[in-house]
Amino acid sequence: MIRRTTMLFAVSALFVMGAARVYSDGSDHEGRVTLTLRSINALNQSGSPDSAHDKDCRARFINLIHQKVTTHYDIDTQTMIMSATSTFQDKPYDLHALGINGKYAFAAFRPSSDLPLNAVLFDISNKFTEPSSSLTLRLNDQIQCLLRSEHG
């Protein structure tokens, strides 16, 4: 009787562990995305486009165009526990989750950098498609420059 109970317990434990694994596999999404910065646009202090300064942004940060940003993310859609790290010019930036409807978004604001970097951003749709990376850099006290990737 003890042997049968032990065997039943062992089989039950394996079933529960297998079921838990299937459940977690469906809710945990881990990925690595490498995107190329392709565009530069100026933004004013409110964050609105300021096309009059696009040329200034391009002149100052043209050397960053075509550089890559690699982001590793881990998102559990059940618990909403998520993390992301973006690496740009061999420097990793730990990103914090943002509450933006319809996508998973992350950012690091005013990270330590040799660049006049204001933010590193990453987002991906809630279907885990259309990833995007962005950097905002200070051109001067009034103007930010937004460097963005195209959707990968």
Specify the pLDDT at position 27.
84
Return d(Cα 46, Cα 18) in angstroms, integer: 51
Q: Delimit the domains of the chain by residue range.
A: 29-149
Query: Mean pLDDT in each 10-residue stretch from start to end of the chain (152 residues)?
Result: 40 35 62 97 94 97 97 94 96 94 94 94 94 97 94 54
Q: Which positions ≥6 away from 47 have C-beta within 8 Å? A: 144
Specify the pLDDT at position 101.
85
Kind plus residue range of the DSSP H or E element containing 122: strand 117-125
Q: Are the beta carbons of 40 and 57 closer than 8 angstroms?
A: yes
